[in-house]
């Protein structure tokens, strides 16, 4: 979709159809009020009325807010994608809502067609925004450019997540990372099993051992001159999570191609950061692994020695993400001295139990840092909720045999005990600079909500970009 900003009045722009937003209060004074009322249009949130005879589409807005604009624009785009109109025009909203309206277009209009024998290509190609001269044109243009980059990166993540485990293996993720590095001028280092052995990343190796698709550690780096901050991003890249020998039930296994979403998200983030040319040095690490069964599979009862030397008693091979992250966090901290380290992982079903299926769980030791992410998420259109650590929960992952156990001894609070497990692999000097994001609920959806269509959502990308732009200036 092309989105263009014009320094012209709406009436002087030529397009097939005009888009308008109406709040219930504005409805009575609308030019076509009688027609809209005949169509039982009430101006409610996400409600659409297409007046073909007037080449006009009207969408309801409960009130003026980012959420309303994002959802309204999504409804409009979806409705127009079912017509033969090729272009549409509308007035820019207030500056504060412009990025949200753009996200409705760029994210709400996304659909993944790669596995369809007859892919649908919507006729709608171009959207013209008429700029209102009371605002600063250059500022609107920069919001447009920025939102385009971030939305494209989000859709890049969705494309990766939506690919099947047959297509998007750990090797394929590494190839994708290398081509992103080539096109965006990033440094790229890939470790194969031999490299992982040299680095003593035994936990990650154990998880991937029974797969015919061997693991890869991906390290992408964006290094501008004189960066203001150094940021490390770590992503769980389980290209498939069968559960291993602690095999998942048939119905829980479906959708587990999405277990790579954290890894895909950090690749999308570094793509956007490099295209926005932010003044931050960024390192993205992905542990790309497939968790399968086989004669050489790792087992409940195994004890693994992670990269930082700590030993882990395995009691459930389905708690594999934390094992991979233990080693990748260890590797990332050894090679990069960062100001902050953030990890993204579809880590626990328990996070969905705690927060519902739309919200990212935010965990760590630094209260202010966690809160700043919740605020950034809220502005950027992502739901985030803080799950608190406490010393009682920490006791639940003690092991009688090794230093720590990979599962909790009690069935509640699983998202937090998983994060407390990761805490064992965060160096002392990084404790307050670390945030863990559990995106198990927010990274994938099988029913459309907000700007999200079926499949990967790109969770983490918009929130993190907003945070970086606010706090690393």
Instruction: Give residue for tokens 């497990």.
Output: 421
Cross-sheet strand order for the sheet of 187-191:
187-191, 216-222, 280-291, 229-241, 340-345, 434-438, 360-364, 384-386
Binding-site size, Zn ion (CB under 5 A): 6
How far apart CA 156 and CA 300 sit, in angstroms, is: 36
The C-alpha angle 170, 172, 176, rounded to 5 degrees, equals 115
377 binds, among ligand BES, Zn ion, none (CB under 5 to 8 A by kind): none
Helix, strand, coil % over all residues of the chain, rounded to 5: 40, 20, 40
Tell me the closest approach of the beta carbon of residue 465 to ligand BES, in angstroms. Answer: 23
Q: Does 423 bind Zn ion (CB under 5 A)?
A: no
The residues that bridge with 363 in the sheet, in sequence order, are: 436
Which one, 18 or 213, has the nearer CB to ligand BES?
Answer: 213
Residue 86 has what DSSP assignment? -
How far apart CA 307 and CA 204 sit, in angstroms, is: 9
Looking at residues 334 to 393 of the shown chain, list those that interact with Zn ion (rule: CB under 5 A): none
On whether the CB atoms of residues 360 and 463 are closer than 8 A, the answer is yes
- The string of DSSP letters for 316-365 reads -TT--HHHHHHHHHHHHHHH---SEEEEEE---HHHHHHH-TT-EEEEES
How far apart CA 473 and CA 457 sit, in angstroms, is: 27
Both tokens of 101, joined, read 């309206």
Looking at residues 156 to 185 of the shown chain, list those that interact with Zn ion (rule: CB under 5 A): none
Sign of the alpha-carbon torsion through 310, 311, 317, 318: negative
**What would the x/- binding string for Zn ion be over residues 252 to 281, using CB under 5 A?**
-------x----------------------
Tell me the closest approach of the beta carbon of residue 322 to ligand BES, in angstroms. Answer: 8
Which one, 262 or 268, has the nearer CB to ligand BES?
Answer: 262
Which one, 131 or 240, has the nearer CB to Zn ion?
Answer: 240
Q: Which of 362, 286, 353 is nearest to 325 (CA)?
A: 286
308 binds, among ligand BES, Zn ion, none (CB under 5 to 8 A by kind): none
Which one, 257 or 271, has the nearer CB to ligand BES?
Answer: 257
Tell me the closest approach of the beta carbon of residue 347 to Zn ion, in angstroms. Answer: 7
- Options 24-32, 102-110, 221-229, 310-318: segment touching Zn ion (CB under 5 A): 310-318
Q: Which of 455, 473, 436 is nearest to 160 (CA)?
A: 455
- The string of DSSP letters for 294-315 reads STT---TT-EEE-TTS-EEE-S
Instruction: Give residue for tokens 């003044």.
Output: 279
- Options 130-138, 313-321, 322-330, 454-462: segment touching Zn ion (CB under 5 A): 313-321
Tell me the closest approach of the beta carbon of residue 241 to ligand BES, in angstroms. Answer: 5
Which one, 20 or 320, has the nearer CB to Zn ion?
Answer: 320
Q: Nearest residue to ligand BES, using CB?
A: 349
267 binds, among ligand BES, Zn ion, none (CB under 5 to 8 A by kind): none
414 binds, among Zn ion, ligand BES, none (CB under 5 to 8 A by kind): ligand BES
Selecting among 78, 260, 271, 322, the annotated active-site residue is: 322
Residues that bind ligand BES (CB under 6 A): 241, 259, 316, 318-321, 346-350, 407, 414, 440
**What would the x/- binding string for Zn ion be over residues 60 to 89, using CB under 5 A?**
------------------------------
Q: Does 290 bind Zn ion (CB under 5 A)?
A: no
Q: Is 248 noted as a catalytic residue in this protein?
A: yes
- Options 74-82, 141-149, 232-240, 282-290: segment touching Zn ion (CB under 5 A): 232-240
Q: Is 78 noted as a catalytic residue in this protein?
A: no
Tell me the closest approach of the beta carbon of residue 5 to ligand BES, in angstroms. Answer: 39
Q: Does 318 bind Zn ion (CB under 5 A)?
A: yes
How far apart CA 443 and CA 331 sit, in angstroms, is: 25
Half-sphere exposure of 107 (CA within 13 A, CB side): 34
Tell me the closest approach of the beta carbon of residue 245 to ligand BES, in angstroms. Answer: 12
Selecting among 248, 305, 310, 394, the annotated active-site residue is: 248
Tell me the closest approach of the beta carbon of residue 408 to ligand BES, in angstroms. Answer: 7
Q: Burial letters for 409-432: b for 16+ Cβ neighbours within 10 Å, e otherwise? A: eeeebbbbbbbbbbbbbbeeebee
Collapsed DSSP state (helix, strand, coil) of residue 441:
coil
- Options 121-129, 185-193, 319-327, 427-435: segment touching Zn ion (CB under 5 A): 319-327
Q: Which residues contact Zn ion by CB under 5 A?
A: 238, 241, 259, 318, 320-321
Which positions are annotated as active-site residues?
A: 248, 322
């Amino acid at each position: 979709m092309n989105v263009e900003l014009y320094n012209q009045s709406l009436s002087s722009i030529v397009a097939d159809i005009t888009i308008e937003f109406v709040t219930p209060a504005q409805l009575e004074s609308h030019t076509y009020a009688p027609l809209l009322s005949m169509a039982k249009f009430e101006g409610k949130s996400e409600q659409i009325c297409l007046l073909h005879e007037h080449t006009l589409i009207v969408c309801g807005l409960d009130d003026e807010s980012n959420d309303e604009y994002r959802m309204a624009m999504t409804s409009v785009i979806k409705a127009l994608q079912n017509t033969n109109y090729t272009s549409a025009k509308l007035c820019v909203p207030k500056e504060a809502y412009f990025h949200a309206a753009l996200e409705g277009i760029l994210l709400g209009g996304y659909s993944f067609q790669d596995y369809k024998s007859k892919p649908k290509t919507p006729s709608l190609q171009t959207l013209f925004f008429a700029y209102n001269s009371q605002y600063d044109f250059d500022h609107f243009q920069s919001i447009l450019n920025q939102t385009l980059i971030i939305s494209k990166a989000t859709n890049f993540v969705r494309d990766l997540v939506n690919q099947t485990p047959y297509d998007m293996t750990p090797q394929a993720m590494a190839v994708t990372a290398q081509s992103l590095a080539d096109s965006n001028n990033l440094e790229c280092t890939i470790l194969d099993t031999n490299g992982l052995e040299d680095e003593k990343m035994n936990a990650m190796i154990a998880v991937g051992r029974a797969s015919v698709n061997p693991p890869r550690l991906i390290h992408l780096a964006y290094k501008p001159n004189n960066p203001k901050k150094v940021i490390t991003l770590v992503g769980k890249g389980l290209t498939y999570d069968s559960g291993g020998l602690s095999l998942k039930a048939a119905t829980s296994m479906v959708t587990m191609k999405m277990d790579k979403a954290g890894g895909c998200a950090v690749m999308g983030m570094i793509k956007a950061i490099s295209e926005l040319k932010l003044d931050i040095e960024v390192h993205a690490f992905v542990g790309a692994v497939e968790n399968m069964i086989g004669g050489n599979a790792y087992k409940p009862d195994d004890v693994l020695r992670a990269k930082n030397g700590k030993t882990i008693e395995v009691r459930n091979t389905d708690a594999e993400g934390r094992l991979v992250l233990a080693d990748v966090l260890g590797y990332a901290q050894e090679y990069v001295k960062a100001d902050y380290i953030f990890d993204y992982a579809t880590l626990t079903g328990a996070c969905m139990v705690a927060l519902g299926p739309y919200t990212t769980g935010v965990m760590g030791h630094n209260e202010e840092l966690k809160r700043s992410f919740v605020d950034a998420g809220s502005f950027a259109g992502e739901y985030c909720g803080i799950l608190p650590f406490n010393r009682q929960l920490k006791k639940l992952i003690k092991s009688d045999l090794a230093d720590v156990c990979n599962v909790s001894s009690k069935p509640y609070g699983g998202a937090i005990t998983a994060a407390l497990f990761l805490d064992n692999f965060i160096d002392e000097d990084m404790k307050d600079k670390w945030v863990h994001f559990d995106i198990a609920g927010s990274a994938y959806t099988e029913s459309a909500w907000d700007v999200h269509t079926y499949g990967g959502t790109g969770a983490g990308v918009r929130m993190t970009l907003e945070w970086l732009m606010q706090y690393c200036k």
